[in-house]
Amino acid sequence: MNIWRLVRKEIGYRRLNFAQAMLGVLVATAGLVGPMTVLRAYSIRAENRLHTMEDDYRKQTLKYGFNVRVIPAGQDRGDFFEKGYATRTMDQAYAQKLADSKILTTIRHLTPTLRRKVLWTEHKRKVLLVGSHGETPLKERAHRKKAIIKIIPEGEIDLGYDLWSSLGLKAKQEVVFLGRKFTLRRCQPEQGSEDDISIWMDLQAAQELTGQVGKINEIQAVDCRCAMADAEKIRTELSEILPNTQVILKVKMAVARAKARLTAQQVRVAELKDKQALAAVTAAFLIVGAAVWISLLAFGNVRQRTMEIGILRAIGLSGRRILSVFLVRSLLIGLVGAVAGVVLGGCLGAGVAVAWGEVTEFSQVGALFSPLLFGLVVLCSPVLSAVVSWPPAILAARQDPAVVLSRE
Amino acid sequence: MLDIREISKTYTVGGKAVAVLDGMSLRVGPGEFMAVQGQSGCGKSTLLLAAGGLLRPDSGQVFVSGSDPYELSSEARADFRATHIGFVFQQFHLVPYLDVLDNVLSPSMAHDSPDARPRAMDLIEHFGLADRIGHLPGELSTGERQRTALARALLNRPKLLLADEPTGNLDANSGAIVLNYMREFAASGGAVLMVTHDSDAAGKADRVIQLAKA
Does residue B149 fall inside a structural domain?
A: yes
Does residue A243 fall inside a structural domain?
A: yes
Tens-digit pLDDT profile for residues A275-325:
778 878 888 888 888 888 888 888 888 888 888 888 888 888 888 888 899
| B20 vs B36: CA distance, rounded Å | 14
Does residue A254 fall inside a structural domain?
A: no
* Partner-chain contact A405 B102, CB within 8 Å: no
Residues contacting residue B208 through CB under 8 Å, at least 6 positions apart: B34, B35, B36, B37, B202
pLDDT (0 to 100) of residue A58: 62
Give the domain extent around A180: 66-249
Tens-digit pLDDT profile for residues B45-54:
889 999 999 9
* Partner-chain contact B95 A318, CB within 8 Å: no
Does residue A59 fall inside a structural domain?
A: no
Tell me: pLDDT of A371 over 60: yes
CATH of the domain at B97: 3.40.50.300
Tens-digit pLDDT profile for residues B145-199:
999 999 999 998 999 999 998 888 888 888 888 898 889 999 999 999 999 988 8
Tell me: pLDDT of A225 over 60: no
Number of domains in chain A: 2
pLDDT (0 to 100) of residue A227: 46
- The amino acid occupying position B100 is V
Does residue B196 fall inside a structural domain?
A: yes
Task: Give yes or no: residues A29 and A105 share one domain.
Answer: no
Confidence of residue A143 (pLDDT cuts 50, 70, 90): very low
Q: Which residues of B touch A402 (CB under 8 A)?
A: 49, 54-55
Mean pLDDT score, A231-259: 77
Mean pLDDT score, A142-163: 78
Task: Give yes or no: residues A271 and A392 share one domain.
Answer: yes
Report the mean per-residue pLDDT for chain B: 90
Residue B11: which H helix or E strand, with range? Answer: strand B2-13
Mean pLDDT score, A189-216: 92
Number of domains in chain B: 1
The answer to whether the CB of B48 falls within 8 A of the CB of B85 is no
Angle, helix A319-355 to helix A15-63, in steps of 10 degrees: 40
Confidence of residue A1 (pLDDT cuts 50, 70, 90): confident
- State how far residue B111 is from chain A, nearest Cα, in angstroms: 8
Inform me whether the C-beta atom of residue B148 falls under 8 Å from chain A C-beta atoms: no
* Partner-chain contact B97 A10, CB within 8 Å: yes
Tell me: pLDDT of B78 over 50: yes
Measured between CA atoms, the residue of chain A closest to residue B91 is: A408
pLDDT (0 to 100) of residue B6: 92
Does residue A189 fall inside a structural domain?
A: yes
Strands ordered across the beta sheet of B160-164:
B85-89, B160-164, B191-195, B33-38, B207-211
Task: Give yes or no: residues A34 and A152 share one domain.
Answer: no
Q: Among A249, A270, A289, give the residue marking a domain's end.
A: A249
Inform me whether the C-beta atom of residue B146 falls under 8 Å from chain A C-beta atoms: no
pLDDT (0 to 100) of residue A45: 79
- For B78, the closest of A10, A14, A317 (CB atoms) is A317
Q: What is the pTM of this model?
A: 0.64
ipTM of the predicted assembly exceeds 0.95: no
- As a whole-number percent, the residues of chain A with pLDDT over 90 amount to 33
Tell me: pLDDT of A57 over 80: no
Pairs across A and B, CB distance < 8 A: 95
Task: Give yes or no: residues A390 and A274 share one domain.
Answer: yes
Give the domain extent around B195: 28-56+71-211
Report how far Cα B177 is from the mean position of its chain's Cα atoms.
16
Task: Give yes or no: residues A128 and A197 share one domain.
Answer: yes
Task: Give yes or no: residues A157 and A279 share one domain.
Answer: no
> How many CB atoms neighbour CB A19 within 10 A?
15
Confidence of residue A52 (pLDDT cuts 50, 70, 90): confident
Inform me whether the C-beta atom of residue B69 falls under 8 Å from chain A C-beta atoms: no
Task: Give yes or no: residues A80 and A228 share one domain.
Answer: yes
| A11 vs A333: CA distance, rounded Å | 10
Does residue B11 fall inside a structural domain?
A: no
Question: What are A117's strand-pairing partners?
Answer: A128
